[in-house]
Amino acid sequence: MIRVAVVGAGYWGPNLIRNFAACPDTELVAVCDRDEDRLAKVLRPYPGVDAIDDFDRILMRADIDAVAIATPVHTHAPLGVAALEYGKHVLVEKPLAGSVAEAEQLVHAARQANRVLMVDHTFIFSGPVQKIKQVVDSGEIGDLYFIDSVRINLGMFQHDVNVVWDLAPHDLSILDYLVGRLPRSISAFGACHANEMAGIEDVAYLNLDFSDGLLASFHVNWLSPVKVRHFIIGGSEKSIVYDDLEPTERVKVYDRGITISDDVEAKRGVMVGYRTGDVWSPHIPQVEPLSKMVAHFAESIRENKQPITSGEAGLRVVRILEAAQRSIKAQGGRITIWDDHELRRAA
Amino acid sequence: MIRVAVVGAGYWGPNLIRNFAACPDTELVAVCDRDEDRLAKVLRPYPGVDAIDDFDRILMRADIDAVAIATPVHTHAPLGVAALEYGKHVLVEKPLAGSVAEAEQLVHAARQANRVLMVDHTFIFSGPVQKIKQVVDSGEIGDLYFIDSVRINLGMFQHDVNVVWDLAPHDLSILDYLVGRLPRSISAFGACHANEMAGIEDVAYLNLDFSDGLLASFHVNWLSPVKVRHFIIGGSEKSIVYDDLEPTERVKVYDRGITISDDVEAKRGVMVGYRTGDVWSPHIPQVEPLSKMVAHFAESIRENKQPITSGEAGLRVVRILEAAQRSIKAQGGRITIWDDHELRRAA
Amino acid sequence: MIRVAVVGAGYWGPNLIRNFAACPDTELVAVCDRDEDRLAKVLRPYPGVDAIDDFDRILMRADIDAVAIATPVHTHAPLGVAALEYGKHVLVEKPLAGSVAEAEQLVHAARQANRVLMVDHTFIFSGPVQKIKQVVDSGEIGDLYFIDSVRINLGMFQHDVNVVWDLAPHDLSILDYLVGRLPRSISAFGACHANEMAGIEDVAYLNLDFSDGLLASFHVNWLSPVKVRHFIIGGSEKSIVYDDLEPTERVKVYDRGITISDDVEAKRGVMVGYRTGDVWSPHIPQVEPLSKMVAHFAESIRENKQPITSGEAGLRVVRILEAAQRSIKAQGGRITIWDDHELRRAA
Amino acid sequence: MIRVAVVGAGYWGPNLIRNFAACPDTELVAVCDRDEDRLAKVLRPYPGVDAIDDFDRILMRADIDAVAIATPVHTHAPLGVAALEYGKHVLVEKPLAGSVAEAEQLVHAARQANRVLMVDHTFIFSGPVQKIKQVVDSGEIGDLYFIDSVRINLGMFQHDVNVVWDLAPHDLSILDYLVGRLPRSISAFGACHANEMAGIEDVAYLNLDFSDGLLASFHVNWLSPVKVRHFIIGGSEKSIVYDDLEPTERVKVYDRGITISDDVEAKRGVMVGYRTGDVWSPHIPQVEPLSKMVAHFAESIRENKQPITSGEAGLRVVRILEAAQRSIKAQGGRITIWDDHELRRAA
């Protein structure tokens, strides 16, 4: 039984609290937040859990094995590093940190302390993404041609982060998980409207280049009158569409593509035709991704192994986010994320 | 009665033939194509129309007032300029020409000859776009925040042009018509998969910057397993969604947005909230855009006025297309389309 | 402050418990269930609420003003009548009772005791139904022509009731609320498949006749592979479509219809044409219907008035359900629900 | 080469004309209509086809092998019988005739003359229905539980027939084709609104009973503000949904159902659970059903065999339509269509 403290009882914390309390492999022993009223409210259903308003007291408690951090982004690194140094395993809400430097501190601290560092990329544990991963890994998609992601709706909370840092971690973590290799460069665009003075982007586009023909594009938007959560993976053999708002058939595999025929018209050089086939929508078991995520954290600690959404995965996503941010400020100027040397080493 | 010859009886020509034959203001007198079998076939329902296989004979005929050109893109300028020089009014299938230089030749020739030059930006004459124009011009949208266009499907013909020149003219002409001002620069991305050797892009993204906060993004794609024709206009007061595949409610006006409240939490600076209201889907009369386009061409000739989709409008779209092409080849490098001097002069 | 006890902690009870606990006008003082484990579990977040396993103790407690009954249907009447006789106000989960006779006992007992009897027809308190009621009452729909309701999905719980008693109360209560007059007769059809031996219908169709041209049809189904919740109200001037699964635009008002023109073709007698106009989807505030229902129960008690979903409304729905059941067993034989005498008296 | 005359150049005739002209197995030799202007107009693209305004002249022409009748319903039988008696093969637009007596005359006349009599149940030749037939015949659906068909929209032409005779032939012919056995009885409901004086129903519901648990229900409606073409086939093992308005995935096979488990709770008797699995949307080749229908007519003549949509199939549909009509007039009273003796004989 892993004994866990949740730090931060704001927007996301209660979800972690509920799942750590319910998970058979973990015991929720404490929740930490500076706001005592909020603490009292979220802990009402859990009379046996300690309410703690001082993070240092969490660090001191020897009976706490692991800490789950759901605080503002800029505090992820200082709190996480401290917890790791005190020998705790650490789970961090996405994004792992607010900068590459901070994310690297976390990864380094985890390695030094030989403790598990995991980032809560929740979507990785969802039924649709797990199913898509299976299909992609089976090879039936063929070569990856393009990935197009749209995550837009009317929705802005009072944030210190822009729409890229708020929404894109979901899609970039899915990209990282599915593709399994690194993009070379990014070009990104954004605009600030609702909160122009603060310079917080509410519309943004990210274009990632994988240097092998694969193009990945992401549209994130807080100003859209309609909600869209649409993810296309275009392949040479088959393609996948993942529509997260579709009530039952969220994932569809299309046996469709374009075929190149031999030269039939000398003038035109090639002859391109369609190939259309069946559509298959696999059954996806209904599971709560968060409960799977929490169980995976416990399992990683117990078996002393790297989680799927390891600190390194979190760092890779932050690296893309930071590059996106720089590119937006440079009006779309292309930013190298991983250079050729790094790409070769990673391959 | 305007006497018209259609040049080119391939993919698009028969549509022009049918509409010029049916329009009460025009008389279809001749169709020109080098392929005599094709000519005979398309002219079967029109026994009174001359089949001509030599373009020069069209030029020579004094009884032909106007020429409609539906030939491959690279022939638009030479054929169109010749027709204008022979005193014909000219309608050109989109895009107006294959380069800015050629488009300028056409515009120049029309001005010299004092003849109507019109480009067949068909969508401008469609019910949905006409209705959207009304709504945008009424001012109820407020400031334009973003435009997001997706035009994707599985579809590639054996072209000498890429997906940008094939599909984007539709959306760029709509943009030009609705926004009424010029974008400053573009950054575009593309990839070639199905026809990699020929270097013909089949997936592309265009990002246009209007230097006043308006961001316009276009996704065109021949490799998508699903067909999408979706156009969002995000405004400060209201927003519009135009879904061209929706059978009845193609245009929806959303009374939704984001509001900035006064400072309630000192730490966060601003307070942003939703505003949601009714959705209104105006009735859109069913008209064939092409029949309206053809009638507008006749009217422009009769009244000696600039058509809505004038040569200049066609040139503006070609200017964006050419810049997009250059940016794609420069891996998204930003290309200035209209510099500050030009923008000021145009305003 | 109305002091409430909830009786029954099974499927629906916890929803009532949560809402009575949260409502500012009510105080949840006790929950009654024979299953002590279930009681303990549902009451964990409410340490101050009494767990009671004997319904008689609820009756005896003078500090309990009202009782909310969420037990199996056949127990509604005996429990509800007893509570009313002990001077409690009573809320009953839908359907009000398992037979007309029992529903009449409840209505009679409430009148004798001068206490509020309300049935939990939850949908009546939902945003969409409230908005539709406004539109219908405004008269802009014109005459009601037809009502078509489809409520189907794959879903069967282990019930003692069939699909009609399970699902149709929702739609019949909406019908009763919107139309405001009584149907004369019913013809219903059903079939038992999954549970054939027990004779429990899992597919059924109800056809109600209002003797004034209005036809109301209901399809309820536990065996449908797809989930549909679709309700059309066809009127002479406008029509309404209520799609409960539509994420944002649940209610749409169509300015569409058929017009009868004067005789233009002698042979055919009449000339019928379409009229199509705008579609309007009113903004519907997001409220939890159950919280409104609970507040309305408290208000009805406080102001000693008939609730919207009164015992009489519940009785009317049960009268239709019982007639439907008889008609199904008679293979669709038409059953008079309210005879002409009753209809005249009600009008 | 079968030499064909089309009789009736109104709404449906031009579709037959176009397809008989294009079919490689048939030669369109004449078109007959009393309206000479209409005749001239539809024949413009077919200069070699004779325009004939007198049906008797069609009968007299020995060079005409077959006649396709697309005239008002009440003329189908007299024209068709005459043509058969003159030795022509006959194709009749749906419904085969306006009454069972007339339909029987046609079937009888065809048998006497030893000529092909076929009814144009076009949907039977469509890609989706052909694919569904394959799936149903494969047995993978299991037992048929229910069929639910909705064919509604805003649409009324100036007819002498009501919505049942106009729309239901489509769905009843599909039912007849797929199920392959006869319904025992029908109960039907309808209402007249737009054209109340003429007593022409514009909304109707049909409930067919197959005496073996299969229930088939049909909703046809000319007053619906929204267009729906939805057909569900519920089976014990799998179910099929056919949505004719879905642009690409018209047919879906759902591996979903309900399972009966052993008794786990003595009180409740049975335990029913869901079974959910994959959804499969087979690729359906794009063919024009009419061109297949026309080719099948030619093939049936050439090979002297019964067409799939034989006169008998047309008679079966008319038998259901006539019974529906009587039931509507009897306010839903149940009408036996085929009695037990007939059902046994047919089985």
What pLDDT, on a 0 to 100 scale, did the predictor assign at position C299?
Answer: 98
Q: How far apart are CA C267 and CA C277, in angstroms?
A: 30
What pLDDT, on a 0 to 100 scale, did the predictor assign at position A261?
Answer: 59
Average pLDDT, whole number, for chain B? 92
In chain C, what percentage of residues exceed pLDDT 90?
80
From chain D residues 244-283, the ones with a CB under 8 A of any chain B CB are 245, 247-248
From chain C residues 150-209, the ones with a CB under 8 A of any chain D CB are 150, 152, 154-160, 185, 187, 189-198, 202-203, 205, 207, 209
| Of C149 and B270, the one with more pLDDT | C149
Q: Which of D248, D276, D280 sits opposite A280 (nearest CB)?
A: D280
**Residues D305, D329: one domain?**
no
Most confident of B247-256, B266-275, B317-326: B317-326
**Residues A129, A265: one domain?**
yes
Q: Does B12 touch chain A (CB under 8 A)?
A: no
Contacts of B103 (CB under 8 A, 6+ apart): B77, B96, B97, B311, B314, B315, B318, B319
B262, pLDDT greater than 60? no
Q: Which of D276, D277, D282 sits opposite A278 (nearest CB)?
A: D282
* Helix-helix angle A76-85:A100-113, to 10 degrees: 10
| Of C268 and D325, the one with more pLDDT | D325
Chains in contact with A, counting 3 or more C-beta pairs less than 8 Å apart as contact: B, C, D
Q: In chain B, which residue's Cα lies nearest the Cα of C281?
A: B279
First to last CA, chain D: 37
**Residues A264, A168: one domain?**
yes
**Cβ atoms of D87 and D246 closer than 8 Å:** no
Chain C residues near residue D217 by CB distance under 8 angstroms: 189, 205, 219
**Residues A267, A303: one domain?**
no
Say if A134 falls within a structural domain.
yes
Average pLDDT, whole number, for chain C? 92
What pLDDT, on a 0 to 100 scale, did the predictor assign at position C266?
Answer: 40
CATH (domain of B247): 3.30.360.10
* Yes or no, beta carbons of D191 and C207 under 8 Å apart: no
CATH (domain of D69): 3.40.50.720
Interface confidence, given as ipTM, is: 0.93
A268, pLDDT greater than 80? no
pLDDT tens digits along D216-227: 999 999 999 999
pLDDT tens digits along B98-109: 999 999 999 999
**Residues D112, D129: one domain?**
no
pLDDT bucket at B47, cuts 50 / 70 / 90: confident
Q: How far apart are CA C88 and CA C105, in angstroms?
A: 15
Say if D346 falls within a structural domain.
no
Burial class of residue C1, CB neighbours in 10 A (0-12, 13-18, 19+):
exposed
Q: How far apart are CA D9 and CA D32, in angstroms?
A: 7
User: What are the distances in angstroms from CA B19 to CA A190, B15, B290, B297?
Assistant: 43, 6, 7, 12
**Residues D191, D61: one domain?**
no
First to last CA, chain C: 37
Q: How far apart are CA B193 and CA A110, in angstroms?
A: 42
What pLDDT, on a 0 to 100 scale, did the predictor assign at position B234?
Answer: 96
Chain A residues near residue D282 by CB distance under 8 angstroms: 278
Residue B211, domain extent: 124-287+319-341
Nearest CA among C48, C58, C111 for reference residue C86? C58
User: What are the distances in angstroms from CA B136 to CA B165, B171, B237?
Assistant: 27, 16, 11
Say if D262 falls within a structural domain.
yes
Q: Is the peptide bond before B95 cis (omega within 30 degrees of 0)?
A: yes
Chain A residues near residue B236 by CB distance under 8 angstroms: 193
Strand residue runs (E) in chain D: 2-7, 26-32, 50-52, 66-69, 89-93, 117-120, 144-154, 185-191, 203-209, 215-221, 223-235, 239-243, 251-254, 257-261, 271-275, 279-281, 335-336
Burial class of residue D112, CB neighbours in 10 A (0-12, 13-18, 19+):
exposed
Nearest CA among C150, C131, C149 for reference residue C141? C131
Q: Which amino acid is at A189?
A: F
Which helix (DSSP H) or strand (DSSP E) does residue A120 occupy?
strand A117-120
A263, pLDDT greater than 70? no
Q: How far apart are CA D36 and CA C153, in angstroms?
A: 54
What pLDDT, on a 0 to 100 scale, did the predictor assign at position D262?
Answer: 52
What pLDDT, on a 0 to 100 scale, did the predictor assign at position C213?
Answer: 86
**Residues D190, D169: one domain?**
yes
pLDDT bucket at D267, cuts 50 / 70 / 90: very low
Say if A38 falls within a structural domain.
yes
**Residues C209, C92: one domain?**
no
* Other beta carbons less than 10 A from residue B212's beta carbon: 11
What's the total number of domains in chain B? 2
Burial class of residue B82, CB neighbours in 10 A (0-12, 13-18, 19+):
middle
Say if B246 falls within a structural domain.
yes
What pLDDT, on a 0 to 100 scale, did the predictor assign at position C194?
Answer: 78
Q: How far apart are CA A240 and CA A255, in angstroms?
A: 9
Q: In chain B, which residue's Cα lies nearest the Cα of C276?
A: B283
**Residues B295, B189: one domain?**
no
Say if A128 falls within a structural domain.
yes
Please give the average per-residue pLDDT across D162-181, as a whole number. 96
SS (H, E, C) A242-253: EECCCCCCCEEE
| Of B240 and D264, the one with more pLDDT | B240
pLDDT tens digits along C104-133: 999 999 999 999 999 999 999 999 999 999
Nearest chain B Cα distance for residue D323, angstroms: 35
Interface probe, candidates A245, A248, A281, A286, chain C, greatest C C-beta count within 10 A: A248
User: What are the distances in angstroms from CA C279 to CA B116, C142, C253, D64?
Assistant: 39, 16, 6, 52
* Helix-helix angle A163-179:A311-329, to 10 degrees: 130
Q: In chain C, which residue's Cα lies nearest the Cα of B280?
A: C280
B265, pLDDT greater than 50? no
What pLDDT, on a 0 to 100 scale, did the predictor assign at position C267?
Answer: 41
Q: Does C93 touch chain D (CB under 8 A)?
A: no
A197, pLDDT greater than 80? no
Q: Does D284 touch chain A (CB under 8 A)?
A: no
Which helix (DSSP H) or strand (DSSP E) does residue D177 occupy?
helix D163-179
Nearest CA among B181, B240, B232, B236 for reference residue B210? B181
**Residues C95, C181: one domain?**
no
pLDDT tens digits along C243-299: 999 988 999 999 987 776 554 444 444 556 677 889 999 999 888 999 999 999 999
Range in D129-133, D158-162, D249-253 the model is least confident about: D158-162
Handedness of CA B36, B39, B43, B49 (dihedral sign): negative
Q: Does C227 touch chain A (CB under 8 A)?
A: yes
The label of the residue with tokens 């919207």 reads C308
Alpha-helical regions (H) of C23-65? 36-43, 55-60
Nearest CA among A102, A253, D154 for reference residue C146? D154
What pLDDT, on a 0 to 100 scale, did the predictor assign at position D268?
Answer: 45
Nearest CA among B254, B181, B168, B257 for reference residue B217? B168
**Residues D136, D25: one domain?**
no
Please, what's the b/e burial string for C298-334 (b: 16 or more CB within 10 A of its CB; e: otherwise)? bebbeeeeebebbbbbbbbbbbbbbbbbebbeeebbb
Say if C347 falls within a structural domain.
no
Q: How far apart are CA A282 and CA A47, in angstroms?
A: 42
First to last CA, chain A: 37
Q: Is the peptide bond before C95 cis (omega within 30 degrees of 0)?
A: yes
**Cβ atoms of B294 and B16 closer than 8 Å:** yes
Please, what's the b/e burial string for C266-284 (b: 16 or more CB within 10 A of its CB; e: otherwise)? eeeebebeeebeebbbbbb
Q: Which of B279, B282, B283 sits opposite C281 (nearest CB)?
A: B279
Please give the average per-residue pLDDT across B99-122, as a whole number. 98
A81, pLDDT greater than 80? yes
What pLDDT, on a 0 to 100 scale, did the predictor assign at position C258?
Answer: 75
Handedness of CA B195, B197, B203, B206 (dihedral sign): negative
pLDDT bucket at A198, cuts 50 / 70 / 90: confident
Chain B residues near residue D45 by CB distance under 8 angstroms: 44-45
Q: Which of C145, C158, C221 sits opposite D271 (nearest CB)?
A: C158
pLDDT bucket at B159, cuts 50 / 70 / 90: low
The label of the residue with tokens 């498949």 reads C193
In chain D, what percentage of residues exceed pLDDT 90?
80
**Cβ atoms of B245 and B213 closer than 8 Å:** no
What pLDDT, on a 0 to 100 scale, did the predictor assign at position C158?
Answer: 53
Say if C346 falls within a structural domain.
no
DSSP 8-state assignment for residue D304: T
In chain A, what percentage of residues exceed pLDDT 90?
80
Range in A68-77, A303-312, B85-94, D150-159 the model is least confident about: D150-159
**Residues B283, B304: one domain?**
no
